[in-house]
Amino acid sequence: MKIIQVGAGGFGESWLEIVMIAPEWEVAGVVDINQNVLKKVKEKWNFSDEKLFTSLDECLKKVKADALLNVTPPEFHKEITVKGIKSGLHVLVEKPMADTLKNAEEMVEVAEKYRKKLMVSQNYRYRKGARSLRKFIEEGLLGNISYCNLNFQKGPKFKGFRIKMEYPLLIDMSIHHFDLLRYILGKEPVSVYAESFNPCWSWFSGDACLNIIFEFQDNIRVNYSGSWVSKGKETPWDGEWEIYGENGTVIWNEKIKFISEGKEEEVEMISMEREERDYSLLEFYRSIKEDREPETSGRDNIKSLKMVFNSLKAIKRGRRVSFI
Ligand SMILES: NC(=O)c1ccc[n+]([C@@H]2O[C@H](COP(=O)([O-])OP(=O)(O)OC[C@H]3O[C@@H](n4cnc5c(N)ncnc54)[C@H](O)[C@@H]3O)[C@@H](O)[C@H]2O)c1
Per-residue confidence (pLDDT) for residue 296, from 0 to 100: 98
* Residues 211, 258 within the same domain: yes
Rounded distance between C-alpha atoms, residue 278 and residue 265, angstroms: 30
User: Does a structural domain hold residue 111?
Assistant: yes
33 touches ligand 1 (CB under 6 Å): yes
Q: Are 101 and 306 in contact (CB under 8 A)?
A: yes
Query: Atom 33 in ligand 1: which residue has the minimum CA distance?
Result: 32
Identify the domain boundary among 116, 146, 177: 116
Res. 272 pLDDT band, cuts 50 70 90: very high
* Residues 195, 317 within the same domain: yes
Give 305's contacts (C-beta < 8 A, 6+ positions apart): 96, 97, 98, 101, 104, 175
Give Cα 117 distance to the centre of its chain: 17
Atom of ligand 1 nearest to the CA of 37: 39
Q: Which region among 20-24, 161-165, 310-314 has the lowest average model confidence (pLDDT)?
A: 161-165
Average pLDDT (229-245) is: 98
Rounded distance between C-alpha atoms, residue 171 and residue 48, angstroms: 37
* Residues 71, 164 within the same domain: no
DSSP 297: B
User: Does a structural domain hold residue 292?
Assistant: no
User: Does a structural domain hold residue 293?
Assistant: no
Determine the structural domain holding residue 89 and report its residue range: 2-116
Res. 233 pLDDT band, cuts 50 70 90: very high
Rounded distance between C-alpha atoms, residue 123 and residue 15, angstroms: 12
Tally Cβ neighbours within 10 Å of residue 120: 32
For the entire predicted model, the pTM comes to 0.96
What b/e sequence results for 86-96 when a residue is b if at least 16 CB atoms lie within 10 Å of its CB, and e otherwise?
Answer: ebebbbbbbbb
Atom of ligand 1 nearest to the CA of 277: 1
Q: How many domains does the chain have?
A: 2
Per-residue confidence (pLDDT) for residue 194, from 0 to 100: 98
pLDDT tens for residues 98-116?
Answer: 999 999 999 999 999 999 9
Identify the domain boundary among 86, 116, 146: 116
Has residue 324 got a pLDDT over 90? Answer: no
Has residue 18 got a pLDDT over 90? Answer: yes
Query: Atom 27 in ligand 1: which residue has the minimum CA distance?
Result: 72
Per-residue confidence (pLDDT) for residue 12, from 0 to 100: 98
Mean pLDDT of the chain: 97
CA 161 to centroid of ligand 1, rounded, Å: 9
Has residue 161 got a pLDDT over 90? Answer: no
User: Does a structural domain hold residue 104?
Assistant: yes
Res. 160 pLDDT band, cuts 50 70 90: confident
Rounded distance between C-alpha atoms, residue 80 and residue 51, angstroms: 18
